[in-house]
Structure 1
Amino acid sequence: MKTDSAAFKHTIKVQEPDIDELGHVNNVVYLRWVQEVATAHWNFAAPQQLKEIYTWVVIRHEIDYYSPAFLGDEIIGYTWVGEHQGAKFDRFVKLCRAGNEKVLAEAKTTWCLLDAKTMRPRRIEQDVLSIL
């Protein structure tokens, strides 16, 4: 997975609760970070009026783990969107150690756009496409 040149960047600091009994970040935490980076991107890019109309839910995660992160590490999460179809959008996240850019994990997630009031799927239209 290549980082898109227009990728959104979000910084994360590894905290004590992220560490498991093996002394490194637990795999479940990486998945939480994937969602955190995606959410940060939406919150940055979407104007308030779109946030009131739409919300997102994950319907699929694929994640590959390459290298551990440790307490005190600073992580840079890169995200960009891929293909969309109907109400679904593929999003990519790459988690790297700040400083040396070592890739720790990569994920492809499929998100579904929902109407924020009805919580029913909504076709992705130009108002959303234009900000991502």
Structure 2
Amino acid sequence: MARPVLEPREDREVFVVPLDVRPDHIDANGHVNNVVYVGWLQDAGTAHWNARFDEETRTKWSWVAVRHEVDYFRPLPPDAVDVKARTWVGEPQGPRFNRYVRIEDAEGRVCAQGVSEWVLVDAVRMRPHRIPADMLPAFARR
């Protein structure tokens, strides 16, 4: 069954992260290994967080990924260039956010997409914490 391509909510910022396809990303089948895509989901979310929040906030709070789901549409070959991750967040649910990521090739075709569930934690005690309302505007469309 074909999965629909993920589309961002109209009120959410779509944050773009350039990705490099390296020789060590290529598997025995001659394309980017599935495990690399999971790393890219995490890298995209971390880059978005780091770009929108100052060091003081990032010292107080941290995110823990508790689930990743990836759909693969077309392989990325070893010579792929201008690959991008586009990421945005969903609706907060207490301490949880779903983060959505589309991996696109140079022509803008979706090669893979994923949903990760992240939990906000107090960075010292590592205990879950409800996502503060004042954090939400940082993820809004600019």
Deviations 1:69-106 (A, max 9, x none): 112313110000001111001110000002x1010111
Match of 1:39 among 36, 43, 46: 46
Gaps of 5+ in 2: 1-5
- 1:121 paired residue number: 128
Confirm or deny: 8 A CA contact 1:34 1:107 kept in the other structure. Answer: yes
- 1:11 paired residue number: 18
Instruction: Give TM-score scaled by structure 1 length.
Output: 0.94
- Which segment is superposed worse, 24-33 or 69-78? 69-78
Paired residue secondary structure (1:85): coil
- 2:63 paired residue number: 56
Match of 1:90 among 82, 92, 98: 98
Confirm or deny: 8 A CA contact 1:91 1:111 kept in the other structure. Answer: yes
What is the aligned residue count? Answer: 131
Residue type of the alignment partner of 2:103: L
Instruction: Give TM-score scaled by structure 2 length.
Output: 0.88
Match of 2:86 among 56, 65, 78: 78
The Cα RMSD (Å) is 1.2
- 1:112 paired residue number: 119
Divergent runs of 4+, >6 A = none
Gaps of 5+ in 1: none
Shift of 1:131: 1.3
Residue type of the alignment partner of 1:85: Q
